[in-house]
Amino acid sequence: MALTQPSLLARGNPLADSSAQRRILNTSRCKPFEDRLLESGLAPLAATGITVFQINVGKLCNQTCRHCHVDAGPDRKEIMDRETAELCIRALAATDIPTVDITGGASELNPNFRWLVERACALGRHVMDRCNLSVLLLPSQADLAEFLAAHRVEVVASLPYFRAAQTDAQRGDGVYEKSIRALQQLNALGYGREGSELVLNLVHNPVGAFLPPKQDAIEAQFRRELMLQHGIQFNYLYTITNMPISRFLEFLVDTGNFERYMERLVNAFNPAATSGVMCRYTLSVGWDGTLYDCDFNQMLDLPVANGVPRHIRDFDPAKLHHRRIVTANHCYGCTAGAGSSCGGAVTP
Amino acid sequence: MDTYYHSHDLGRFAEMGKGNKDLWEKFSSYYGAVFTAGALTEREKSLIALAVAHAVQCPYCIDAYSQTCLEKGSTVEEMTEAVHVTCAIRGGASLVHGVQMRNVVEKMSM
């Protein structure tokens, strides 16, 4: 039986407040991240441009995964409205940023999701949808897979493991079985099939307080097992380290794993991974239009800083392209081991 | 209550280099090479290490290789089977000495 619970907000948990999370992260015994950057000659960390325009369309989700860094769930009402979505498209149109990465929550449940996809495609941009898979089986989303295929949207699907016990422990009872059905639905449309242009990538998060395996090793296991058990194909698998924030932070604190996990991240600090972290080439837009260096900073309410515009209505690529990145101790999550980003491991 | 084992001592392992730097560096280099993927994968080697850790009953090694096995993508089911391999070999090693017992008994008995 999985131990998923409602969102932190719904439970009135103090960690629903990002300042409480930041306080815990700051009191960790680990060396401050900024000091570690200085020691490694990597400070200040700065953007190298914007090649990924990531839009978080809100916290509404049909699942309440135990590790969720968004504290998303069915109870969350914060979603991007049409006016803000239009500002995103206007900003995109003023640039040649090639990739639009749409995330949530379950981004597809936002009534403006399909509009955003259509407009971004019309601008000739490559669109990625970070999909929890089970959303494809909701009656209201019966035509979603066909919509994604018709617009050549790259699907980046969460599947922590190729077995039900681990997947359901993280994402909720029955989620593995639904995920498999959704993957089969996508495969049937050509997603992930050899020779097809429809790209289906999987995301693996560790089911607990430890680092992910080497990406190529676990990808080979997934490929073998999913084919053997379910006849499922996919393109690539990305490993993503669990960030010590939000509901995963709650898990770490409640189970007495927080300091050990932080120590693991700090000891695995990898300067090479730091050079390639996603905040250096990504701009993250929140559901209300606020701009961030990444989706994790977004959840900690750490917007872009150092004199650059903070809202999509004031979007100014010249100022944002080489902005200084806002960092804190949670950033150790992206710099540990092979590194971690929305596109998986940063180094081989 | 005091104890001979402290979990934080695992992180102090490298202090063994203070007594003899040369031997420590040779050991570290060999250790690293052993666990690099070769004919066996890193995941397989970690499962062997976990089994051996239980055979030598080293709490530091059990702690370290439980985490390492998870980080190499092993499941608790695979790790449990590895520990059963330890158990079978240790148990079997005791039991097979029963043949010696039988040899003695046979020699002394009418």
What per-residue confidence (pLDDT) applies to A26?
Answer: 93
What per-residue confidence (pLDDT) applies to B55?
Answer: 97
Distance between CA A287 and CA A85 in Å, rounded?
9
What per-residue confidence (pLDDT) applies to B2?
Answer: 80
* Residue ranges of domains in chain B: 40-108
Q: How confident is the model at residue A339 (pLDDT cuts 50, 70, 90)?
A: confident
Per-residue CA distances from A87 to A95, A116, A290, A294, B104 (Å): 13, 11, 11, 19, 90
What string of pLDDT tens digits covers the 110 residues of chain B?
A: 588 899 889 989 999 999 999 999 999 999 999 999 999 999 999 999 999 999 999 999 999 999 999 999 999 999 999 999 999 999 999 999 999 999 999 999 98
Contacts of B43 in chain A (CB under 8 A): 213, 217
Do A213 and B72 lie within an 8 Å CB cutoff?
yes
What per-residue confidence (pLDDT) applies to B1?
Answer: 55
pLDDT digits (tens, 9 = 90+) for A74-85: 999 999 999 999
The stretch A128-153 carries a mean pLDDT of 98
* Confidence check: pLDDT of A2 > 60: no
* Residue ranges of domains in chain A: 14-335
pLDDT digits (tens, 9 = 90+) for A316-328: 999 999 999 999 9
* Confidence check: pLDDT of A21 > 80: yes
Hey, is the C-beta of A160 within 8 angstroms of any chain B C-beta? no
Q: Of A23-32, A116-125, B34-43, where does mean pLDDT reach its minimum?
A: A23-32
- How far does CA B43 lie from the centroid of its chain? 15
Hey, is the C-beta of B73 within 8 angstroms of any chain A C-beta? yes
Domain A14-335 has CATH 3.20.20: yes
Instruction: Tell which residue, A89, A160, A101, has the closest CA to residue A129.
Output: A101
Do A213 and B67 lie within an 8 Å CB cutoff?
no
Most B CBs within 10 Å, among A29, A166, A210, to test the B interface: A210
Hey, is the C-beta of A224 within 8 angstroms of any chain B C-beta? no
Distance between CA A296 and CA A245 in Å, rounded?
8
Q: What is the pTM of this model?
A: 0.91
CA torsion sign, A279 to A237 to A268 to A256? Answer: positive
Share of chain A above pLDDT 70, in %: 99
CATH class of B40-108: mainly alpha
* Confidence check: pLDDT of A344 > 90: no
* Confidence check: pLDDT of A3 > 90: no
pLDDT digits (tens, 9 = 90+) for A161-181: 999 999 999 999 999 999 999
pLDDT digits (tens, 9 = 90+) for A269-316: 999 998 889 999 999 999 999 999 999 999 999 999 989 999 999 999
